[in-house]
Amino acid sequence: MANLRAVVTGASSGIGRATVTALRDAGWDVVGVARREDRLRELEAETGASVVVADLTKQADVDALRDHLAATGPVHALVNNAGGAKGLDSVEASSIDDWAWMFEVNVLALKRVTSALLPLLRRGAVERGVADIVNITSIAGHVAYAGGGGYNAAKFAAHALTEVLRLELNGEPLRVIEVAPGMVKTDEFALVRFGGDRARADAVYDDVPEPLTAEDIAGVVADAVRKPRHVDLDLIVVKPVAQAAPYRLAKGRLAVRSDEEG
Active site residues: 151
Q: At what angle do helices 109-128 and 149-168 cross, to 10 degrees?
A: 30
Residue 14 contacts residue 37 (beta carbons within 8 Å):
no
Please return the burial class of 3, using the count of CB atoms within 10 Å of its CB with bins 0-12, 13-18 and 19+. exposed
Q: Which residues pair with 131 in a beta bridge?
A: 174
DSSP 106: I
SS3 103: helix
Strand order in the sheet with 235-238: 50-53, 29-34, 5-9, 77-80, 131-136, 174-181, 235-238
Please, which residues bridge with residue 116 across strands? none
Q: Are 23 and 4 in contact (CB under 8 A)?
A: no
Rounded CA Rg of the chain: 19
CA distance 54 to 76: 20
Distance CA 15, CA 183 (A): 12
CA angle, corner 243, sides to 237 and 248, nearest 5?
A: 120
